[in-house]
Structure 1
Amino acid sequence: MKLIDKSIDKEGQGYVTLVPEEPEDMWHAYNLISEGDYVRSSTVRKVQSESSTGSSTSNRVRTMLTIAVETIDFDTQACMLRLKGKNVEENQYVKMGAYHTLDLEMNRKFRLTKHEWDSVSLERVEMACDPTKSADLAAVIMQDGLAQICLITSSMTIVRAKIEASIPRKRKNFIQQHEKALAKFYDNIIQGILRHIDFDIVKCVIIASPGFVRDQFYEYMFQMAVKTDNKTLLENKSKFMLIHSSTGFKHSLKEILQDPAVVNKISDTKAASEVKALEVFYTTLQCEPDKAFYGKKHVEKANEAQAIETLLISDNLFRCKDVNLRKEYVKLVDSVRENGGDVKIFSSLHISGEQLEQLTGIAAILRFPMPELDEDDESETED
């Protein structure tokens, strides 16, 4: 994300002008824009004009428009953000108060104005505009007849391609058909890897599967690379890593990202730190349950006692429609940091974020045990 302009006063009012440059930037924009914000961007509007003879013609004109956002729709596949709202600035083609839909796309500048920029939103701008954040991890999760090519960025897991094929069993009279179908399946995966993985950015490509599927594919891919003199694959051979997974489905990413070999390889990425924090939470919950809690009420009580060492919170909670509730979550994040705690904001589009969502979207690892939090629950139940 490129920051063009920024003007925010001491009260937190003001605007930023941004240009999304890659798919993940659209996800950051989705997290930044809330209902009630003003967004200004160029758009195309159909305009009716009447000639002197009375005949009318319809033309499409490009114009700059500012809308008060009412609905936000994020298309993860097209990496497009669709905003609907009323026009709030004078425009020769669109009446004040008229509804219009703005499509925010990559490489198209937009200005975002908020009545109040909180610490979480400002941190999001800073993170989005940091050039060191990028999709530096890719994974090919596969099993017989199914493969998924995923990009794992610091904020989200994107399935870039899903490859399915019907492969006959390797029986006596079907060996030739089996090998032919398998070769075609592998060729499609290779094409998907070359199309969707940018080896200039990606540090590591994980190939994961149950059994020996990954080994057979890896061997086939580099045999073909040598045969066709595919320099892209041959020059990046060291980036490939073979890991066991229980299935070829996306949810297997959880176990893959917890594999010590993978953790060492991607230790400098945000994705790895989120997975590790969640793993520590689950371990604490199992071994020292009085030091791990989830749910807004428990976490807030732990924070009042300045007991939170690590706060795990989903970015979904900052997109809730209730403005006051959103402010409560921002206040909690600020308070934990003031008390010396670590805050991990999980992306709901990342595999670890999906797991946190199952725990209400908010959890905490404490500095010291607080058994009284559970006792409070028991006493309320008895009442």
Structure 2
Amino acid sequence: MKLIHKHIEKDRSGQVTLLPEEAEDMWHAYNLIAKDDYLKSTTIRRVVSETATGSTDKSTVRTVLTIRVEEVDFDTQACMLRVSGRNVVENKFVKMGAYHTIDLELNRNFTLAKVEWDVISLERIDDACNIANRADVAAVVLQEGLANLCLVTQNMTIVRQRIETNIPRKRKGSTTNHDKGMTRFFEQVYQAILRHVNFDIVKVLIISSPGFVKDALYQYIFATAIRTDNKTILENRSKFLLVYCSSGQKHALTEVLQQPSVQSQLSDTKYATEVRSLDRFYQMLANDPDRAFYGFKHVCLAAERGAVDTLMVTDELFRSADIPTRRKYIALVEQVRSTGGSVLIFSSLHTSGEQLNQLTGVAATLHFPLPDIEEIAEEEEEAARRAADGNVDEDLENDFVDRDLTTAV
């Protein structure tokens, strides 16, 4: 992502102009664009014009539109972003207030204006425009007859190709059919690697499986590369890393990335930091539960006491259409930082982000134990419940009084 222009006022209103240069930039744009923002971009509009004779003529024109955002859709496989809303700037092809959908394109500027730019959005722009933050990883997670080729970037884990094939079972006295099936399977995986892995960008290619399937695939890849004189594969042999995992499903990638041999090679990536922090949280939750909490209420109470060491939040919470919800999580982030805690914003397109979403999307490890947080949270909930019940009783009493007055009249 390239930052073309940025102008933010003291009241935090303002606009930025950005140039998406690669597919992952669309994910950043998806996290930046929210309901009621204003988006200006070049787009294609179908126009129906009427001639002097009364006939109609349909044509498509390229024009610049500014819409007030109502809906944002992101296609994770194609990395395409579609933004829908009403036109708010006069245009000779589109009426004021008319609906239009803008498809954001690579290498084409767009301008985003917000009434209030929060700290999370501004940080995302800085991260997206910092080339040094990009450290890509490719991984093949497989078992006999099943393989998932994944590309792991700073913000996304995308399954580029899923390969499934029937492998004949070994028969007593003959393994010919099984061996032929495995060869066909390995050839499909090999071709997928050639098609989807760019070794100019990828830092490491992880091959992971139960048993010795990974070793057999590794041998097949380099035997084939030598036979076909594939210099790309041969020159990048040092980037291949063999790791054990329990299955060939995508979720096994989290297990793979937690292993020390992988962590040492990915120590400078954001995703590796997320995986380590989440693993530390689970360990602390099991061994020292008074120093690990999840859920907004409990984490907020810990933050108020300055106890949070590491706050983990998924980016989904900052995409909420409800502005008060977004603001309360932004306030939590700022409070933790003000007391010296660190904040990690997990991508919901990573397996680590998916796991955190199962824990309400927010969790924290603490500097010191706070055994009374559970009790305080329960007391506050009970007080809120009593207050609500009191309001209901008061409303009922008022209804009875109104009814008696009406009867008396």
- Provide TM-score, normalisation by structure 1: 0.97
Closer, same or farther: CA 87–297 of 1 in aligned 2, 3 Å: same
Please state if 1:325 is matched with 2:325: yes
Contact 1:144 1:213 in 2 (8 A): yes
Secondary structure at 2:139 match in 1: strand
Contact 2:297 2:377 in 1 (8 A): no
Task: Provide Cα deviations, 1:156-215, integer angstroms capped at 9, x if missing partner.
Answer: 111111111111112258643333322221111111111111111111110000111000
- Stretches of structure 2 that go unaligned for 5 or more consecutive residues are 384-409
Contact 2:311 2:336 in 1 (8 A): yes
Equivalent residue number for residue 234 of structure 1: 234
Equivalent residue number for residue 113 of structure 2: 113
Equivalent residue number for residue 91 of structure 1: 91
Larger Rg: 2
Give, as a single letter, the amino acid of the residue that structure 2 aligns with 1:162: R
Equivalent residue number for residue 137 of structure 1: 137
Equivalent residue number for residue 260 of structure 1: 260
The worse-fitting range, judged by mean Cα deviation, of 165-174 and 311-320 is 165-174
Closer, same or farther: CA 88–173 of 1 in aligned 2, 3 Å: farther
Alpha-carbon separation, structure 2, partners of 1:298 and 1:328: 14
Closer, same or farther: CA 378–337 of 1 in aligned 2, 3 Å: closer
Q: Using the TM superposition, give the Cα deviation of residue 342 of structure 1 relative to its aligned residue in structure 2, in angstroms.
A: 0.3
Closer, same or farther: CA 57–287 of 1 in aligned 2, 3 Å: same
Alpha-carbon separation, structure 1, partners of 2:322 and 2:73: 18
Closer, same or farther: CA 354–305 of 1 in aligned 2, 3 Å: same
Q: Using the TM superposition, give the Cα deviation of residue 235 of structure 1 relative to its aligned residue in structure 2, in angstroms.
A: 0.3
* 1:176-195 equivalence runs, <5 A: 176-195=176-195
Alpha-carbon separation, structure 2, partners of 1:208 and 1:244: 5
Please state if 1:75 is matched with 2:75: yes
- Stretches of structure 1 that go unaligned for 5 or more consecutive residues are none
Alpha-carbon separation, structure 2, partners of 1:127 and 1:300: 26
Equivalent residue number for residue 249 of structure 1: 249
Q: Using the TM superposition, give the Cα deviation of residue 31 of structure 1 relative to its aligned residue in structure 2, in angstroms.
A: 0.5
Contact 1:3 1:18 in 2 (8 A): yes
Alpha-carbon separation, structure 2, partners of 1:341 and 1:138: 32
Alpha-carbon separation, structure 1, partners of 2:174 and 2:106: 48
Q: Name the Cα RMSD after superposition.
A: 1.4
Equivalent residue number for residue 316 of structure 1: 316
Equivalent residue number for residue 217 of structure 2: 217
Closer, same or farther: CA 139–95 of 1 in aligned 2, 3 Å: same
Equivalent residue number for residue 302 of structure 1: 302
Task: Provide Cα deviations, 1:117-152, integer angstroms capped at 9, x if missing partner.
Answer: 010000000000011232521100001111111011
Secondary structure at 1:193 match in 2: helix
- Provide TM-score, normalisation by structure 2: 0.91
Contact 1:134 1:201 in 2 (8 A): no
Give, as a single letter, the amino acid of the residue that structure 2 aligns with 1:98: A
Q: How many residues align?
A: 383
* 1:350-369 equivalence runs, <5 A: 350-369=350-369
Q: Where has structure 1 moved over 4 Å in runs of 4 or more?
A: 377-383
Secondary structure at 1:250 match in 2: coil
Closer, same or farther: CA 82–380 of 1 in aligned 2, 3 Å: same
Give, as a single letter, the amino acid of the residue that structure 1 aligns with 2:145: G
Q: What percent of counterpart residues are identical?
A: 57
Alpha-carbon separation, structure 2, partners of 1:352 and 1:8: 33
Give, as a single letter, the amino acid of the residue that structure 2 aligns with 1:124: R
Equivalent residue number for residue 334 of structure 1: 334
Alpha-carbon separation, structure 2, partners of 1:382 and 1:287: 29
Equivalent residue number for residue 18 of structure 1: 18
Alpha-carbon separation, structure 2, partners of 1:51 and 1:331: 57
Secondary structure at 1:132 match in 2: helix
Equivalent residue number for residue 155 of structure 1: 155
Q: Using the TM superposition, give the Cα deviation of residue 377 of structure 1 relative to its aligned residue in structure 2, in angstroms.
A: 4.3
Q: Using the TM superposition, give the Cα deviation of residue 366 of structure 1 relative to its aligned residue in structure 2, in angstroms.
A: 1.0
Contact 2:298 2:377 in 1 (8 A): no
Alpha-carbon separation, structure 2, partners of 1:53 and 1:305: 77
Alpha-carbon separation, structure 2, partners of 1:379 and 1:109: 52
Q: Using the TM superposition, give the Cα deviation of residue 5 of structure 1 relative to its aligned residue in structure 2, in angstroms.
A: 1.0
Give, as a single letter, the amino acid of the residue that structure 2 aligns with 1:252: A
Task: Provide Cα deviations, 1:55-106, integer angstroms capped at 9, x if missing partner.
Answer: 2110010100111000111001111111110001010000000000111122
The worse-fitting range, judged by mean Cα deviation, of 282-291 and 221-230 is 282-291
Contact 1:79 1:105 in 2 (8 A): no
Alpha-carbon separation, structure 2, partners of 1:52 and 1:380: 72
Alpha-carbon separation, structure 2, partners of 1:284 and 1:62: 56
Alpha-carbon separation, structure 2, partners of 1:217 and 1:257: 20
